[in-house]
A and B are shown apart, each in its own frame.
Chain A
Amino acid sequence: MLSKIVRTVANQLILFILIFGLYVIAHGHLTPGGGFQGGAVIVSGVVMLLVAFSSKELKKSLRERTLSIMESSGALIFIGLAFAGIGIVFFYNFLVGTPIFGRIPATGPGPGDIWTGGFIPLMNLAVGLKVAAGLSAVVLAMALFSSGEEIEE
């Protein structure tokens, strides 16, 4: 556990890191970014908490079991969205043209519209959940093991 200054700054800064990660995930079909990059940003916030507080403190609020369930649900949403268009072809983008994320942007350069992209924003959310939970679980397991703590079953 580091000093009180570091802990206070990390406490205030984790909110902005999480908001930036969610922004990168949610605007993945308009700006540079996407599920993997936003998930990595969120994992960097978790690593900052792990450095500022000790792994024993973080174990109370971030359970490995919860992270495993989140990662599995992200993978299930991803494969379920891929199977939802199986009537035409696997990974068919079945949401283009429907009211949900179905608008088609004007061809060529232009401002972005958040309601475009078909199932790509939903895929981004699923993959972001999966990457953030999975890599957080890996980092947390390594920190707990190297500090000699018990790993939660």
Chain B
Amino acid sequence: MMEYIPLNFPFLAAALLVGISFYILIFKRNLIKLIMGIAILASGVNLFLVALGYRAGGNAPIYTDVPEGPMVLPVPQALTLTSIVINVAVLALMLTMVILIYRHTGSLDSEKSRKMKG
């Protein structure tokens, strides 16, 4: 199993992105920075999905004037497409929530907006 380690650097890049986003989500308090952390987490997951379906020396799985050779796996790319659109929708909803929280409490601190006050 140990001889596979030099081949797996793209997976390590995805793990690095997810680690950065977990650092942001644990230690930061600004709401905009938390949203940026969630966006970085989504990019890490997308990179992991695309790297999971890569085949060595493969072309894109589209038959229009493709050169000879193997093709990369199409199903992880389709799921990545789904994931990107869902991320856009969730990001728009979170930004709207932050706009409303800033109008209501006057600050972007997550500790201050945690308390319920009417």
**Interface, chain A (partner B; CB < 8 A):** 30-32, 34, 36, 105, 108-112, 131, 135, 138, 142, 145-146
Contact = CB atoms under 8 A, between A and B. Distances in A.
B85 A145 contact: no
Q: Tell me which of B60, B67, B88, B99 has the highest count of chain A C-beta atoms within 10 A of its own C-beta.
A: B88
B52 interface: no
Contacts of A30: 62, 64
A36 B81 contact: yes
Interface residues of B, number: 16
A127 to B, nearest CB: 9
A30 to B, nearest CB: 5
Contacts of B68: 109
Interface of B: 60, 62-68, 81, 84-85, 88, 92, 95-96, 99
A105 B63 CA distance: 10
A110 B64 contact: yes
